[in-house]
Structure 1
Amino acid sequence: MAEPHSVAARMLGERVRHQRNELGLSQEDMADLAGMHWTNWGKIERGQANPSLTTIVRMAGVLDIDPAELVSGLGLAQLPQRKHQLTAADLIRERTRRSG
């Protein structure tokens, strides 16, 4: 089995799976309602895909939840390392320090 795309993808997938299981419906049923292929739904549940905003909103819609419930609390710490670890605020602060 493939590894999760990221910790954030794994967490999102766990939330989707939990909500789907609460409804007692299959991945196939949910994917059909969302207008997507069931294998893509499964990849998202396993954290093996990085769904677009449109897909997240569609999935939340058929799960009958606010999309925020799927992404709440996810942040940079749950994503793969990136080249720059600064935030926009860090960059502005450093530029201000250098020019001041």
Structure 2
Amino acid sequence: MSKIHSPAAEEIGRRVRAARNQRGISLENLGHLSEVNWTTIGKIERGASSPNVESLVRIAHALQIDPGTLISGITAEDYGESSHQLTAREFIEARTGRLPGPRTR
């Protein structure tokens, strides 16, 4: 059994599988239609891999659905804990020792 990449990947995979099954398309045929390897799609469906944007759009197009339906409602928190919990401002301050000022032209 594959390890789940994240709750977000698991949900995206569930949505891909549901759309594929609803349309009666095999993994192999979806791979051909989307030009994404069918084994990669299988990993996505199991939540073992998080798709990149290009793959997500290709799969959605092949399934004739809006790519947004595959990610709707998913937030950064759904990807789990990150070792980098800084805002952009905090990151800049940590790297430079000072806060960024207003932009000037």
How high is the TM-score relative to the length of structure 1? 0.83
Structure 1 segment 3-42 matched on structure 2, within 5 A: 3-42=3-42
Q: 2: CA distance between counterparts of 1:89 and 1:64? A: 40
Q: In structure 2, how many angstroms separate the alpha carbons of the residues matched to 1:87 and 1:22?
A: 41
Q: What one-letter code is carried by the residue in structure 1 that aligns with 2:69?
A: E
Q: Which residue of 1 aligns with 2:47?
A: 47
Amino acid at match of 1:81: E
Distance in structure 2 (CA, Å) of the matches to 1:66 and 1:88: 31
Task: Give how far 1:51 is off.
Answer: 1.2
Tell me the CA shift for residue 87 of structure 1: 4.7
Cα RMSD (Å) of the superposition? 2.1
Q: Cα deviation per residue 1:12-31 (whole Å; 9 max; x = unaligned)?
A: 00000000010011111111
Q: CA deviation at 1:80?
A: 2.3
Which structure 2 segments of 5+ residues have no match?
92-99, 101-105
- 1:67 aligned residue: 67
Larger Rg: 2
Aligned residues: 95
Moved over 6 A (4+): none
Q: How many Å apart are 1:89 and its aligned residue?
A: 8.5
Sequence identity (%)? 42
Q: Are positions 1:79 and 2:74 aligned together?
A: no
When the two structures are superposed, what TM-score results if normalisation uses the length of structure 2? 0.79
Q: Which runs of 5+ in 1 are unaligned?
A: 96-100
Aligned mates of 1:90, 1:61 — CA distance in 2 = 39
